[in-house]
A = this chain, B = another copy of it.
């Protein structure tokens, strides 16, 4: 490979070992350069204005401002930057939130190191790199209807209902008041135009809202 302008990277990751490891790994690769690395989003937001990297590796489990919340903030100051999420937990909600908020890729930290480089290359080329298990979650969620009239909270509650849970159980489990659950259910019924749990479940399943 010839020596051209390197792909610039910034790492935001609180674990020092991982941070240094990635920095070393990427800098050791031709045509890749780590401009800076940060242990938290607050510092990163300040420094990023000068760094202006092409790609950001962003840990999802961060102290203070969480990785997911950081995405819109970063996109706000650097709209053209590609963001690759790093995570240990492949939680569906996180994956989905990150991708809809503008993350380009999603890797688990257990992915081997060559994959990280490949992923950076891939996002720069307009791709969407992600681990197999992440991809599976995404595919599954694509089967879910994107334009559900239900809010996140309502969907959560309807899912509990579909599991046979009573209002009070749902309330306990979600740490909210029974009355709040009732309110949500009322709204669910109105939105789905139904008058019972049974019909709500049926309607939601038919339309892949749940």
Contacts from A to B (Cβ < 8 Å): 161-166, 169, 196-198, 200-202
A interface SS class: helix
B residues near A197, Cβ cutoff 8 Å? 164
Distance, CA A202 to CA B166, complexed state (A): 13
Determine how close the nearest CB of chain B comes to the CB of A166; give it in whole angstroms: 7
A163 to chain B: which residues have CB within 8 Å? 198, 201-202
- Cβ–Cβ contact B165 & A198, under 8 A: yes
Q: Is the CB of A164 within 8 A of B161?
A: yes
Q: Are A198 and B166 in contact (CB under 8 A)?
A: yes
Rounded to whole Å, the gap between the CB of A157 and the closest CB of chain B is 13
- From the candidates B164, B198, B200, B202, name the one contacting A201 in the complex (CB within 8 A): B164
The complex places the Cα of A131 from the Cα of B166 at a distance, in Å, of 31
Measured between beta carbons, the chain B residues less than 8 angstroms from A202 are 163-164
Chain B residues within an 8 Å CB radius of A164: 161-162, 164, 196-198, 200-202
Chain B's nearest CB lies how many Å from the CB of A198?
Answer: 4
Interface centre among A162, A198, A200 (most CB of B within 10 A): A198
**A196: B residues at CB distance < 8 A:** 164
Can you name 15 A-B pairs with beta carbons within 8 Å?
A161-B164, A162-B164, A163-B198, A163-B201, A163-B202, A164-B164, A164-B196, A164-B197, A164-B198, A164-B200, A164-B201, A164-B202, A165-B198, A166-B198, A169-B198
**Bound Cα distance from A202 to B163, whole angstroms:** 8
Residues of chain B contacted by A161 (CB below 8 angstroms): 164
Known: A164-B164, A165-B198. 13 other contacts (CB 8 A): A161-B164, A162-B164, A163-B198, A163-B201, A163-B202, A164-B196, A164-B197, A164-B198, A164-B200, A164-B201, A164-B202, A166-B198, A169-B198
